[in-house]
Amino acid sequence: MRYALILAGGRGTRLWPMSTRELPKQLIPFIGGRSLLQIAVERLAGLLPADHVYICADEAYRRQILSHLPTIRKAQFIGEPTGRDTLNAVGLSAAVLSRQDPEAVIGVFTADHLIRPEDEFRQIVARGYELAQRPEPTLVTFGVTPSFAATGYGYLQLGPQLDESGARVVQQFKEKPDAAVAQQYLAAGPNQYLWNSGMFVWRASVLMRCIASYAPQNFQGLQRCRDAWGTPQQQAVLEREYPQLPKISVDYAVMEPASRDPAVTVAALPMPLQWLDVGSWPSFGQTCPKDHAGNAASGGRQLLLDTRNTLVVSSEQDHLIAAIGVEDLIVIHTPRATLVCRADQAERIKQLHQQIGEQHGPEWL
């Protein structure tokens, strides 16, 4: 049967100070009053039954996420004792689902994306499920048409067409390029390069065989977790084994070696839709309405005089942010902290986050 897995891990450090340990980015209701996780669940409505949608996230957020998502039951939450990157999150989930359904076909999505139109998204994903159910071992990914020379995304280098669905063989995965190389990929066009969306579909059994072949140490630990799942030893085994698993992404550990393995087909389905990875304040700014000077705002009150291309966000509706004569800034206000930085320095918020923890303590994170 078909299942969906939404990865809702990560701390969202580049969205500090609004994203915190108590309220990580996937739970912040800052997209029209809805959270990214709510949107991710709603986007799958009609594609498969509600009880086939699973969430994989930090165990510490179990109660918070389940109360946030009324359609998700306890059994549909797979908790990680600690974050060990995407290979282990999808591997644990596939191991658990294959234990209850050996024929499970899993679509993997994230709680970071805004995608429109949603009807077309569901149609493309449905083709992905069909492709993953081929008799041949097939790993399906979705490639987004690049709209600019992005250096923050990985790329898919496309090979020949696979079938009439429009799927293409993935010739090679390209990691985040520098500006010059990204410009070359953009100029080559979407028939040669697509953004790597981080969304996949595969049979659980095929994924587990790939992990066994390419990442045997991870596979052995995941199998021990699988064998204990549903038994009184489940939590003890999970807490012992999972933190010891090598930390690595599914792209590095599985997708890249699979693309070189003649026994496995890695296929990309083009997804020519509006796609936004809301992982930083500049990307969040793209979701906000803008005034004639290019300023974007969300929450609270603002008064901006002679100000251009500035993002202003407040978590307090009765808080006023005023600015005069500034350009290209990011201003984020919460009751606990205020961030001011140049827009072109937004990637350094992660570095700032680390230093705040070191100098002021984890309570500020």
The pLDDT of residue 227: 97
What is the rounded average pLDDT of the residues 179-194? 94
CA 301 to chain centre: 31
- From CA 230, how far away is CA 335, in angstroms rounded? 42
Cα–Cα distances (Å) from 41 to 5, 55, 71, in that order, read 10, 9, 9
Other CB atoms within 10 Å distance of the CB of residue 20? 20
Which of 288, 323, 285, 287 is CA-nearest to residue 302? 323
Phi, psi of 156 (to 5 degrees): -105, 120
In this predicted structure, the answer to whether residue 108 has a pLDDT above a threshold of 90 is: yes
- From CA 210, how far away is CA 279, in angstroms rounded? 29
Q: Is the pTM of this model over 0.85?
A: yes
Could you tell me if residue 276 is left (phi over 0), alpha (psi between -120 and 50 degrees) or otherwise beta? Answer: beta
pLDDT in tens, 27-85: 999 998 999 999 999 999 999 999 999 999 999 999 999 999 999 999 999 999 999 99
Is the CB of residue 348 less than 8 Å from the CB of residue 339? no
Which of 101, 62, 58 is CA-nearest to residue 83? 58
- From CA 298, how far away is CA 30, in angstroms rounded? 8
The pLDDT of residue 171: 93
- From CA 321, how far away is CA 208, in angstroms rounded? 51
What are 362's two structure tokens? 């984890």
The pLDDT of residue 14: 95
With tokens 């086939």, the residue in question is: 52
pLDDT in tens, 76-93: 999 999 999 999 999 999
CA 309 to chain centre: 27
